[in-house]
């Protein structure tokens, strides 16, 4: 009797023991903070005071009327577009090349992954040097073509380009690997038939591969959007560690704006409201991108 009861308990109840640690930790350190953010955002809540006055939606209204919030939103979207579009296009071509019958596959793949292994802090520091105004390599190369010294961090467009370059450098190879994984599942016979019909390599990429890996492209666009909307390290370090993102906030992203409110001024209520608005913006941006890439014709 007892044995069979124990057996039944083991089969029926013990599965929950295996998932319990994950869900307990997730509830305490994942779900609770996210929900509590909503509660904090409705208060005048600072680290230094014990009194938290209920404000209703006032933090949100202040946010929406703060031009620096809109500036941060513009910067984030601008850097996101400048980095994601070239990055994913290059990754597609790169994956297509790697999908051929190459010698030294592992070597090339590890090479592509090197930038991604490098920490985002290191990337920001290294590129900060490369984009230096006086002694940077980028300005030196441009100088060879007669372009004068550019103060990359000073302008809106130039700083966005410099930061987007960091993102492109770090993520192109990674995305190429993701695409490559999907491409390897495309039947070889499709390519063979196309070659017999005289299709060039680029035509095969456009007409066969891209439609076939459509769902993977959608996946990468959405993941890049969610990641790009949360960008912090690159603009923070490019601006010498200042959360303002340049003297005129010219490259302050939404996360930097949140960081400045939360951990510069320790205005937790306002920072929490920023976090929620950011979340809404991320969902909207991901949704728009989803609708956009969904239009790729499926095979």
Partner 1 sequence: MATLTQTLVQVKRRGLPRPGRLTYLTLIAIAFFSAFPLYYSAVVGSLDNSALGQVPPPFLPGGNLITNIERVFTTVPFATALLNSAIVASSITVSVVLLSTLAGFAFAKLRFRGRNGLYLAVVATMMVPTQLGIIPLYMLMANVGWIDTLYAVIAPNLISAFGVFFMAQYLSAAIPTELLEAGRVDGCTTFGLFWRVVLPLARPAAAVLGMLTFMNAWNDFFWPLVVLTPENPTVQVSLSSISSGYSVDYSFTLAATTVATIPLLIVAALFGKQIIAGIMQGALKG
Of residues 11 through 40, those in contact with partner 1 by CB under 8 A are: 11-12, 14-16, 18-19, 21-23, 25-26, 29-30, 32-34, 36-37, 40
Q: Is 49 in the site for partner 1 (CB under 8 A)?
A: no
Task: Out of 152, 169, 251, 257, name the contact with partner 1 by CB under 8 A.
Answer: 169
Region 80-109 residues binding partner 1, contact defined as CB under 8 A: 94, 97, 100-102, 106, 108-109
Q: What is the dihedral of CA 187, 191, 193, 197, to 10 degrees?
A: 160
Nearest to partner 1 of 130, 163 (CB atom)? 130
Residues 6+ apart with CB under 8 A from 64: 277
Report in angstroms the alpha-carbon separations of 21 from 144, 182, 295.
59, 33, 41
What is the C-alpha separation between 230 and 263, in angstroms, rounded?
16
Nearest to partner 1 of 57, 195 (CB atom)? 195
Question: Comparing C-alpha atoms, which of 166, 278, 174 is closest to residue 233?
Answer: 166
Question: Comparing C-alpha atoms, which of 236, 230, 245, 219 is closest to residue 282?
Answer: 230
Residue 192 structure tokens: 């063979």
Q: Token pair 């372009």 is at which residue?
A: 147
Report in angstroms the alpha-carbon separations of 36 from 22, 31, 299.
20, 8, 45
54 strand-pairing partners: 43
Nearest to partner 1 of 82, 254 (CB atom)? 254
Task: Out of 191, 217, 244, 251, name the contact with partner 1 by CB under 8 A.
Answer: 191
Helix, strand, coil percentages (3-state) for the chain, rounded to 5, are 75, 0, 25
Region 230-249 residues binding partner 1, contact defined as CB under 8 A: 230, 232-233, 236-237, 240-242
Nearest to partner 1 of 40, 79 (CB atom)? 40
First to last CA, the chain: 59
Region 50-79 residues binding partner 1, contact defined as CB under 8 A: none
Task: Out of 57, 89, 157, 181, name the contact with partner 1 by CB under 8 A.
Answer: 181
Nearest to partner 1 of 290, 292 (CB atom)? 290
Site size for partner 1 (CB under 8 A)? 96
Q: Is 137 in the site for partner 1 (CB under 8 A)?
A: yes
The least distance separating partner 1 from the CB of residue 159, rounded to whole angstroms, comes to 16
Nearest to partner 1 of 82, 278 (CB atom)? 278
Q: Is 226 in the site for partner 1 (CB under 8 A)?
A: yes
Query: What mask, x for binding partner 1 by CB under 8 A, covers residues 269 to 298?
Result: --xx--xx-xx--x----------------
What is the C-alpha separation between 268 and 128, in angstroms, rounded?
31
Q: Is 148 in the site for partner 1 (CB under 8 A)?
A: no
Question: Comparing C-alpha atoms, which of 157, 209, 220 is closest to residue 185?
Answer: 209
Q: Is 187 in the site for partner 1 (CB under 8 A)?
A: no
Q: Is 177 in the site for partner 1 (CB under 8 A)?
A: yes
């Amino acid at each position: 009797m007892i044995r069979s009861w124990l057996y039944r308990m083991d089969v029926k109840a013990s599965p929950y023991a295996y998932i319990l640690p994950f869900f307990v930790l997730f509830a305490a350190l994942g779900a609770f903070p996210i929900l509590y953010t909503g509660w904090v955002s409705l208060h005048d809540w600072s680290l230094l005071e014990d009194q938290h006055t209920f404000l209703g939606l006032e933090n949100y209204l202040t946010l929406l009327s703060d031009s620096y919030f809109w500036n941060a939103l513009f910067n984030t979207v601008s850097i996101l577009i400048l980095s994601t579009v070239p990055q994913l296009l290059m990754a597609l071509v790169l994956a297509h090349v790697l999908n051929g019958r190459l010698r030294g596959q592992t070597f090339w793949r590890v090479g592509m992954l090197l930038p991604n292994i490098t920490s985002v802090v290191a990337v920001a520091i290294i590129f900060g040097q490369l984009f230096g105004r006086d002694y940077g390599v980028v300005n030196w190369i441009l100088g060879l073509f007669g372009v004068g010294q550019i103060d990359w961090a000073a302008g809106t467009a130039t700083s966005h380009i410099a930061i987007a370059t960091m993102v492109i450098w770090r993520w192109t190879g990674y995305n190429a690997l993701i695409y490559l994984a999907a491409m390897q599942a495309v039947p070889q016979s499709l390519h063979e038939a196309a070659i017999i019909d005289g299709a060039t390599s680029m035509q095969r990429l456009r007409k066969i591969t891209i439609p076939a890996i459509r769902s993977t492209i959608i996946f990468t666009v959405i993941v890049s959007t969610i990641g790009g909307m949360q960008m912090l390290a690159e603009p923070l370090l490019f601006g010498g560690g200042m959360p303002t993102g340049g003297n005129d906030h010219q490259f302050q992203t939404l996360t930097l704006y949140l960081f400045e409110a939360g951990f510069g001024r320790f205005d937790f209520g306002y920072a929490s409201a920023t976090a929620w608005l950011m979340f809404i913006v991320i969902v909207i941006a991901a949704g728009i991108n989803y609708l956009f890439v969904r239009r790729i014709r499926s095979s």
